[in-house]
């Protein structure tokens, strides 16, 4: 029996991709936003391609603001960009 592979939509490019190909961004109850490499952190999650271009698009389209239903400051995007660059160098 084939197991269904979960898919998620990238908040940058809007493409549906397999969950394991995307990076999860999580907002904790305290309102802290960070990358979740395990995919198991508690909080509300949003998914994005591991591509700086998608992060740029997400910023333009206010993808995180919509996903988390709060205003996300530019500094958060900058932090996520740095974290992403460190991971995918």
Q: Residues 23-57: pLDDT tens digits? A: 999 999 998 999 998 889 999 999 999 988 999 99
Q: Return d(Cα 62, Cα 19) in angstroms, integer.
A: 21
Closest to 57 (Cα-Cα) out of 18, 14, 1, 87:
14
CB count in 10 Å sphere of residue 14: 12
Predicted TM-score (pTM) of the model is 0.87
Question: How confident is residue 85, by pLDDT bands cut at 50, 70 and 90?
Answer: confident
Domains in the chain with CATH codes: 7-87 (3.30.1230.10)
Whole-number pLDDT of residue 2: 80
State the alpha helices, DSSP H only, in the chain.
Answer: 52-61, 63-68, 74-87
């Amino acid at each position: 029996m084939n197991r269904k592979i979960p898919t998620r939509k990238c908040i940058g490019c809007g493409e549906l991709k397999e969950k394991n190909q995307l990076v999860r961004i999580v907002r904790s109850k305290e309102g802290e936003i960070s990358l979740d490499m395990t995919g198991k952190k508690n909080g509300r999650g949003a998914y994005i391609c591991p591509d700086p271009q998608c992060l740029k698009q997400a910023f333009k389209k206010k993808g995180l603001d919509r996903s988390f239903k709060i205003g996300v400051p530019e500094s958060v995007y900058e932090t996520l960009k740095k974290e992403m660059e460190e991971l995918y160098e």
